[in-house]
Each structure stands twice: as structure tokens, then as C-alpha cells.
Amino acid sequence: MKNILQRDIPQELEGIGVLEPFEGAFTKLKKGWMEEATVPPPNKAKLPHSNKVCDNLREAIIKTQPKNGMTVSFHHHLRAGDSILVESIKILADLGIKDITLASSSLTSAHVGILPYLKDGTITQIYSSGIRGELGKALAEGVLPKPFVIHSHGGRVRAVHTGRINIDLTVLAASASDIEGNATGSHGPSAFGSMGYAAIDSWYAKQVIVVSDNIVDYPCVPQSVSQNYIDYVVKVDSIGDPSKIAGGTTRITKAPMDLQIARLAAQVIEHSGELKDGFSFQVGAGGASLAVAKYIRKTMKRREIKGSFILGGITSYGVDMLNEGLFRSIFDVQSFDAAVSSSLINNPFHIEIPAGLYANPFNCGCMTNKLDVVVLGALEIDTDFNVNVITGSEGYVRGASGGHSDTASGANLTVAVCPSFRGRIPIVKENVHTIVTPGESIDVLVTERGICVNPKRPDLKENLVKSGIIVKDIKDLAKEVEQITGKAKPIENEDRIVGVVEYRDGTIIDVIRQVKQ
Amino acid sequence: MESKKNTFKRRTMLYIPGNNPAMLQQGSVYGADGVLLDLEDAVALNQKDSARILVSHMLKYISYEACEVTVRVNHIDTPFGLDDLKQIVPLQPDAIRLPKVETLDEISRIIKLVEEIEDEHNLPHDKMNIHVMIETALGVQNVYDIAKYSPRIDAISIGGQDLAADMQLVKANDGVGIDYARKQIVMAAKACKIDVFDTVYVDVENEEGLREEAEYIKKLGFTGKAIINPRQIEIVNEVFTPTEQEIRKAVKIVKAFERNKKEGIGVFAVDGKMVDAPVVQRALRVLEMADIELADL
Amino acid sequence: MKLKIKAQAGSFESSDVLIMVEPLADGSGRRVELESIVMQQFGDDLLAQINKDLDVFEISDVRIIVNDKGALPPTISARLETALKRSAGIQSGTLN
């Protein structure tokens, strides 16, 4: 069957079950409730003054009684510095556990070490918001017997509620924990900031292990995850590479192309009608996307505009804007650099939020619904404004859905920023290889060679044109790009579906087929 | 001599190394008013052929859209200059830029060559402009004669690095040594009613220094400035773009002038300050730089 | 054009291409060895363009090694032209 974006979606897929085709960003939400049944969180009991502390991770994992076919989950707040995920999988493999479903909130370059376990049957399925590098290549080449699932940050929370992701064991790294498992990422030698994605795992996993290199006196304050959900606590020497976990501040790019695109995007935002007192703002962590903050900061100062909140993945740049009084508050689901953690712990207006409050579509209102402006990157964008942020030009998985579709659907003004082509590869084109965010959620595209407004937003186009900004038809831009690069031959696929892209409401927006070798 | 009406804004002209395809294909997107595709100093001596061929192919393929396209060729007395002209002139970029011009003899020889090449290709003599660079003490002494030599010369430019070297200046960063030359060159350009461009600012990391220098040379009378890194464009464009306050004031003056003109009054006051013809002229220039048409007022 | 010696032009920089040409004996034909980071998308186009350019220069016996880092068509043509002229010894206005 075809979904509303004309993508072929099978009715059922072995390893996942029945698939529901994507029917529009708000089609399911309009009902006002979620039709799927939710699973109850586990009920547990502990006697007073019993001991949760284990000598090592292996001992703790053995106590959780791992079994074949289990689902193991992790958070990715340690970014590229994490060693806990790979270590846990190694222990499970060593214990002879097979057929594991790995459900990490995302997978980074730190996780390439699980590759052998994809090949030997230890891991047979993956749920994640992002996959990159060697892992993404192997997955696109069909290394796993069951299709992997790419979800959004908000969609992951929904998937845990419905039991699509049914977590048997979660191993949660923290930079500080007490012996009961009250834990945080906001202080300690490996401080990494918010633990926003880990909250749902701590609530729903049948077994919860907190791992920290820093066991503090009881009670640990503040508490990102709290003891009433925690089964075991492990003190380890290291939770990863501190230079990559707690490494410095995120710098704004110096790449001229990214800066130029960011400058244009800031002009678009300034004249969109959304840049006014009390506006809320989110930017992605990518080069051009983050650089928009630099220009918006200037514009806000010049026009003496004060915003309400910054949302999502937070950089030290956002913290600077909070400290300058440009925004009243920060709601932090994920900290992109360690400089953020001191603000998170010291500034009462810098607030850690769980992923559900951030972006889950099925509750009484997530914060992405309150966004005025979001700036997002794109690996590819088509002439209907559909965005690919997951597969690269050769068809390999090399990106992250993350909060892309969540924020895009919620914000009043969603700005996609990307170069019109990279090297010789067209970025703005007639068809994208994989759709992650539907075009209906993208209001305007900003590239170095033109600004294109989604035809569903004539009001926005009018505002921009009135202020002297030149607006191009996206079809003309795509043609112009093709004239420069030539027409790229589409990626050749096998028929076999190796992965699916789940929209935030649980429907399937696209599938990823095996790359022909 | 009549002032040439140039359709391009000329606040910023971005140098692009002629042998760098990545930069050549993206030159027009950074917001510079013009691009200077460089076959001279930015190209290694053993890659001159390569750069010349690359720039030719790029000129035919890439649309530089609203950017003025100028190619800087090598000096005619180097082993590269003649080949540059033979290859580039037939492609008729908006302008060619001639480095290190010192004497009337040089400029006359070069323009003769250019026009011979144009004749060979049945091209007109009045389409492609010529920019002259003054980069030596001798050039500075001769600048007026050079600038007025041909109506095709529609801009002159100071090359600060080479001039400082020619003057044997050891420490040249503060611009003190070339200050006289800057003023001399501006005066020659104004006398010929042509545009005049300042030299590059080499310390790319120093944004404040760049802004100060841009503000200074704007006061001296320069039309714009050569740029060596895209990151410098925004600052210089900003300096050379009138502020809202300047525009408001200019609008007021021009409106008052139009009103008084009808009544036959030549000198009048705006906000308590006397306004006469030169003041009106400056106000008109501000509006021109701000892209405001008189009809729109 | 008569090729005489091995020659090359271009670089390994992004958006550039390194092209090496080597004259071959008459009747050997064209041997194009193509490597490109955009092989899947533009491999056929690249080959066609190189052959077309060789036709223009009337070269039928040559070995060409192409290492492409995503160069646009004008860059491909420019580097090939430069390498061929260097090989034929007819490049001028440059130092060796």
C-alpha cells in the first residue's frame, strides 16, 4: 500500500508486525487520544534497607536475569564518549544471550563496537533515533535479520507506552548517583547535562541499572532519575571518554557556506513575523542550524526583543543567551556540550525535561507544540519540502531523526537550512531517498542559492517579499541545482526492506531498502 | 570625462583563488557585490596554466548571478600575462583587473593588446571594463595619468601588500605607510569620476580591526574594499550601507530640496542646518547606496 | 593533439579532480580508469564527458587515471584539458 506521501509501505513486516501507513502529521492526533492500548509500567518491591549496590556491571546484569530475545535500552547523553552501551552488550554476549533488541535513544560514533554483535546474532533488531558510520552502513547492507526502526525522540516515548519497545533491561549511565540510584548528569567529573531521554526507560524497564563513576552521599541532588524506579546501582571506574563526554563548549562553525546560510535564515526569521517579544526558539546542533543562533542573538539585541524559552538540545550558546537575558528560560532535554551542566544545576530557569514533555505527541501537550521558531538541517529536501535526515547519498544510514519531525510539526515557523548541493551531490531535488519529516511541516527552506517558501504559507511568503527578501520556487531551485551538478542517478536498492522510519505518531512514513552492493 | 554608470554595487569584492574549484563554484553565494577570480598572486607559478583553463571553464558554466565578475590577470611583463589576456578577454567578464600598473606606457600597451584580441573575436571595445591596480610607489606617482588614460578604466584599486613591500615598509599593518597613497589614489579616481577600491585586510580573525579599517577608508572616499575571506563580507557591507538614521536624514533633505526647488529656493534649512547643493548631492548618494529610488519617496 | 609524456593536473581537494594522462601507442585505444566519490550517481556521466572531451582534442590512444572528489563538469573538463596540454607540451604561460 502507499502512504499519503506515495511511499510503498507493506501491510506487515516480519519482526515488526502490522504497519500503519502515514496519513498526515495530525491525522491521528485530531482524535484527541491514542487508540493503541498502553502497557502498564512494572510494579516492583524492595524491603527497607536492602542493598542495590553491585560490585560491577556484569554482576548487576546477571542479577537482572537476562534472557534470549530480550530488549535492552540505553540513553545517548554521553554522546560520542559513551562506553557503557558497548560494555553492556559485550557482557550480554559473553553470557551467551542471543536475539537482543537494542533500543537506544540514539547511536553515536562511540557505539561502533557493537558491530560484531550485529553479525553474530547477539543483536537482531535495533530501535534508535539515529544511526551513523560503520553501523549505518552495515544496517543498510542488511546485516540484521529483523528490520531496524528509526523513531523520533517524541515517538520513542510513545513506542514505550504502547509496548512497541518493551524494555526488559535498561542500563543508565549517570555522572553522579547515590546508592539508591537517585542520579543525575548535571555534576561530577563526567558531567554531561540533562538526562531527558533516560526518564522513560527508568519508568518502564522491567530492570533498571544505574551506572556511575561517581557515587555520592545519599541523597544525590538533583535527581534526574529517582530511586523508586532503580533496581541496581553500579560504581565503575569510567563511564567513557571524559574528553568526549565533558568536552568543552560547542563552537559556532567558521565554514563560510554554513555562516552564509545561517545569515540568510536569520533574515528570514526576522521578517517572518514570528520574531517578537515572548517568542520561543530551538536550533539543531548542526553547523548552519546552530549558527543561526549567532545571528538571531544579534538581531534580538538590535531590536531589543526578549524571548520566552529555548527548547530541546542545548548548547553553551543557548546558555549565553539565557544569561544575557535574551530568553527567560531553557527547557533542556539533551545537553550538547558539558559547559551546559553548570547552568543546568545552578540556574533555576534552566530546566531539565523528560522526552515525553519535550515531544511525545500523545499527551496533553508536549513543549514542541509551543515552539514559535525551529531551525533544522537536512541531508536532502524534495520539491514538496519532504526532508531526509537519515540516509546519505549512497543509501547508507548516516543521520538522526532525533527531534526533527517532532519540532517541525509543532513550531509555527519551521526553517530548514542546508546547502543546495554538497560536492556534486544535489541536496534540493525532485525526490529524496528517505522521508523523515513530511513537507507539510516545513514552512521555508533556506539555501545559499535561494529561499523557498512552502506554498501552504502564502502569508509567510508575503511577509518575506515585503521586506525585500527574494523568494524562489523550490522547483526552480531544484532545476537550477540540477543544471549545476547534472542529474544524479538514483540509488539502486534491493527489494528487501531493512528498516522502517516511524513517524512520531507510530505510523510508517517510509521504509529503507537494502543497498545494492 | 563622463562618469560611467555602473549597475553593480561595489562595496565588497571577494578574491577567489583561480585554481580552487570549490571556491570558484560558490563565489557568488556569500553576499559580496563582486568576485575577483584571481590568476595572479593566489596561484602558484607552476599552476598558472591550470588556473587559467579552470577559470575559463567556470566562467562559461557558473552563473555568478548578481555578482560583478572581474578576473585579475598576471602583469603583462610576466611569462603569464599575455596568455591570460588571450584566454580571458574573449570570455568578456564584466571587468579585468590589471595588477601593478606603474606607467602610462604599460597601460597603453595592455589596452592595445586587449582591443586587438577583442577585434580578433569581433567583440566590442566598450563592454568589458578595466580595473587598474596601483601597487608601487611609481604607480602612485602616475596614478592620475593612468586612470584617465582610457574611458574603459572604470575603477582603480590600491594593492596595499605589494605597495608596502615596494616602499620597503617593515611593519605595515597599521596602514600608516600607505596612507598617503590611499589618499592620492582616491583623489585621482575622484578627478576621473571613477570608482576606487581599497586593499584587502589580511587578519581574518580580527573583525574589529576590519570594521575600523572599513570605516576609515569609507571616510577617505573609497567605493568599497577587496575581501579575502567570505566572513569579512558582512562587516564591510554593513559599513558601506547607510544606517537607518542616515537614510531618514537623507530622505528629509531630498524631500525638502524637491519642495523648495518648485518654489525656486536654492538654499534652505533642515533641522536647523543649512542645506545647499553639495549637501543634497551627498543625501542623494546615501539613498543610492541604500537602494532607494527617488520615485519611491 | 599528440601526447608525448605523462602529465597530470588537478588535486585531491574536495570538488576537484586529479587527472593523469599517459600516451599510448597508436591503436591501443582509450583506457580510462575512473575513481569517484560520486561514482554511483555520476560515474556514467563522467565517462561520457571525458570521452567527449577526448573527441574534441582528437585523442584516441591514451591511458587516463581519474580520481574525482565530486568535481563539477567544468572542473573535469578544465583538469583534463590542462593535463592533455601538459602531456602534449603545448601548455604555455606557466612555470614547470
Please tell me the distance in Å from B82's CA to the nearest CA on chain C.
Answer: 8
Helix (H) or strand (E) holding B15: strand B12-17
Please tell me the distance in Å from A449's CA to the nearest CA on chain B.
Answer: 6
Over residues B46-60, mean pLDDT: 97
Give the full edge-to-edge strand order of the sheet including A373-377. A350-352, A327-335, A307-314, A281-283, A373-377, A413-417, A444-447, A450-453
Let me know: does A325 contact A333? Beta carbons within 8 Å: no
Cell of A51: 542493598
Determine the pLDDT at residue A249. Answer: 66
Helix (H) or strand (E) holding C82: helix C73-88
Over residues A467-486, mean pLDDT: 96
Please tell me the distance in Å from A417's CA to the nearest CA on chain C.
Answer: 21
Contacts with B49 from chain C: Cβ below 8 Å: 82, 85-86, 91-94
Determine the pLDDT at residue B5. Answer: 45
Which DSSP string do the residues of B137-164 spell out, in sequence order? HHHHHHHHHHHTS-TTEEEEEE-HHHHH
Determine the pLDDT at residue B6. Answer: 55
pLDDT tens-digit series, residues B70-91: 999 999 999 999 999 999 999 9
Three-state SS for C55-74 is HHCCCCCEEEEEEECCCCHH
Q: What percent of chain A has pLDDT over 90?
A: 91
Determine the pLDDT at residue B2. Answer: 38
pLDDT tens-digit series, residues A170-198: 999 999 999 999 999 999 999 999 999 99
CATH class of the C7-88 domain in this structure:
alpha beta
Nearest C-alpha neighbor of B20 from the set B70, B64, B54: B54
Determine the pLDDT at residue A391. Answer: 96
Over residues C50-58, mean pLDDT: 97
Let me know: does A212 contact A230? Beta carbons within 8 Å: no
Distances B3 to B80, B148, B189, B191, B241 between C-alpha atoms, Å: 32, 11, 11, 10, 22
Let me know: does A373 contact A413? Beta carbons within 8 Å: yes
Indicate yes or no: CB of A486 within 8 angstroms of CB of C42. Answer: yes
What residue of C is the nearest CA neighbor of A493?
A: C40
Q: Which residues of A touch C (CB under 8 A)?
A: 393-394, 422-425, 484-486, 488-489, 491-492
**For residue B143, with 0-12 CB atoms within 10 Å meaning exposed, 13-18 middle and 19 or more buried, which class applies?**
buried
Residues 256-285 of B with CB under 8 A from C: none
Contacts with C37 from chain A: Cβ below 8 Å: 423
Q: Is B230 on the interface with A (CB under 8 A)?
A: yes
Determine the pLDDT at residue B1. Answer: 34
Burial A485-506 (b: 16+ CB within 10 A, else e): bbebeebebeeebbbbbbbbbb
Cα separation of A143 and A14, whole Å?
15
Indicate yes or no: CB of A448 within 8 angstroms of CB of B231. Answer: no
pLDDT tens-digit series, residues A62-80: 999 999 999 999 999 998 9
Contacts with A393 from chain C: Cβ below 8 Å: 38, 40-41
**A247 confidence band (pLDDT: 50, 70, 90):** low
Determine the pLDDT at residue A55. Answer: 95
Please tell me the distance in Å from C11's CA to the nearest CA on chain A.
Answer: 14
Over residues A374-403, mean pLDDT: 96
What residue of C is the nearest CA neighbor of A426?
A: C41
Indicate yes or no: CB of A448 within 8 angstroms of CB of B25. Answer: no
Mean pLDDT of chain B: 92
Q: Which of A105-114, A256-265, B280-289 has the lowest mean pLDDT?
A: B280-289
Determine the pLDDT at residue B184. Answer: 98
Mean pLDDT of chain A: 95
What residue of B is the nearest CA neighbor of A259?
A: B231
Indicate yes or no: CB of B49 within 8 angstroms of CB of C85. Answer: yes
Q: Is B251 on the interface with C (CB under 8 A)?
A: no
Over residues B269-277, mean pLDDT: 86
Nearest C-alpha neighbor of A381 from the set A422, A412, A423: A422
What residue of A is the nearest CA neighbor of C16?
A: A423
**B66 confidence band (pLDDT: 50, 70, 90):** confident
Indicate yes or no: CB of C74 within 8 angstroms of CB of B60. Answer: yes
Over residues C41-64, mean pLDDT: 97
**A326 confidence band (pLDDT: 50, 70, 90):** very high
Cα separation of B212 and A35, whole Å?
64
Over residues B104-123, mean pLDDT: 97
pLDDT tens-digit series, residues B197-245: 999 999 999 999 999 999 999 999 999 999 999 999 999 999 999 888 8
The vertex-B56 CA angle with C1 and B123, nearest 5°, equals 100
Domain with CATH 3.20.20.60 in chain B: 12-239
Contacts with A448 from chain B: Cβ below 8 Å: 26, 29-30
Determine the pLDDT at residue B4. Answer: 43
Q: What percent of chain B has pLDDT over 90?
A: 74
Best to test chain B binding among A252, A253, A258, A259 (most B CBs inside 10 Å): A259
Distances A201 to A105, A160, A336 between C-alpha atoms, Å: 9, 8, 20
Phi-psi region of A175 (alpha: psi -120 to 50; beta: other; left: phi over 0): alpha
Cα separation of A260 and A157, whole Å?
36
Cα separation of A17 and A20, whole Å?
10
Indicate yes or no: CB of C73 within 8 angstroms of CB of A492. Answer: no
Burial A39-71 (b: 16+ CB within 10 A, else e): eeeeeeeeeeeeebbbeebbebbeebebeeebb
Over residues C40-56, mean pLDDT: 97
In three-state secondary structure terms, B4 is: coil
Determine the pLDDT at residue B277. Answer: 86
- Bond preceding residue A145 cis, omega within 30 of 0: no
Neighbours of chain B (3+ CB pairs under 8 A): A, C
Indicate yes or no: CB of C42 within 8 angstroms of CB of A424. Answer: yes
Indicate yes or no: CB of B21 within 8 angstroms of CB of C77. Answer: no
Best to test chain C binding among B16, B28, B57, B61 (most C CBs inside 10 Å): B57
Q: Is B29 on the interface with A (CB under 8 A)?
A: yes
Over residues B138-158, mean pLDDT: 97
pLDDT of A395 > 50? The answer is yes
pLDDT of B18 > 50? The answer is yes
Q: Which of A172-181, A449-458, B251-260, C53-62 has the lowest mean pLDDT?
A: B251-260
List the single residue in C38, C43, C44 with the smallest CB-CB distance to A423: C38
Q: Is C45 on the interface with A (CB under 8 A)?
A: yes
Interface pTM, i.e. ipTM:
0.97
CATH second-level architecture of B12-239? Alpha-Beta Barrel (3.20)
The neighbour count for residue A98, using CB atoms within 10 Å, is 16
List the single residue in A394, A423, A488 with the smallest CB-CB distance to C15: A423
pLDDT of A455 > 80? The answer is yes
Determine the pLDDT at residue B7. Answer: 65
Determine the pLDDT at residue B3. Answer: 38
Q: Is B290 on the interface with A (CB under 8 A)?
A: no
